[in-house]
Amino acid sequence: MTIDGKQVVVPEGTTIYEAALQARITIPTLCFVEEMGEGGTCGICSVEVEGEPEPQLACKTPVSPGMVVRTDTPRIREIREAIQMMIRLAKALPPASRRGQERPGGGLYTP
Ligand code: FES
């Protein structure tokens, strides 16, 4: 398989994320913790796979022979920026327990 133009040989069952590590290519992760093997919910590890119409999750997608992966394309950067923006927005929101309560300076906390 090829990741960002680098040839990588990995055993069957290896994920794109693991193959990228072997090739010394960093793919960002949020919900995936290597030792726990979870992930698949945040989408920040999305990569483009030639022949696939939609981005694939590097932390969950196993490699296949001849697979061509791109980790840094305009589309992938756009996805990662959108996810980071959603995280920043979520942090700016008041906790759910305070919604509807009065703010110190007046007005109510809203969602
Ligand atoms: S790291 Fe979250 S979906 Fe892959």
CATH number of the CATH domain containing 68: 3.10.20.740
Is residue 105 a part of any domain in this protein? no
Q: Which atom of ligand 1 is nearest to the CA of 57?
A: 4
Model's pTM, two decimal places?
0.81
Task: Tell me whether residue 28 is in a domain.
Answer: yes
CA distance linking residue 19 with residue 63, whole number of Å: 8
pLDDT value of residue 98: 67
Residue 22 lies in a domain: yes
Q: How confident is the model at residue 107 (pLDDT cuts 50, 70, 90)?
A: confident
Residue 72: inside a domain, yes or no? yes
Residue 94 lies in a domain: yes
SS3 state at 59: coil
Compute, in angstroms, the gap from residue 65 CA to the centroid of ligand 1: 22
Tokens of 61: 């997608």
What domain range is 88 assigned to?
2-98
Asked if 48 and 69 count as a contact pair (C-beta separation under 8 A), the reply is yes
- Ligand 1 mean position, distance from CA 81 (Å): 14
Give domain status of residue 88, yes or no: yes
Q: What total of structural domains would you count in the chain?
A: 1
Greater model confidence, 104 or 13: 13
Is the residue at 108 inside a domain? Answer: no
Which pLDDT band holds residue 40 (cuts at 50, 70, 90)?
confident
> What is residue 18's DSSP assignment?
H
Residue-wise pLDDT for 47-103, tens only, equals: 999 999 999 999 999 999 999 999 999 999 999 999 999 988 887 777 766 667 777
Pocket residues: Cβ below 6 A from ligand 1: 29-32, 39-45, 57, 59
Q: What is the pLDDT of residue 7?
A: 96
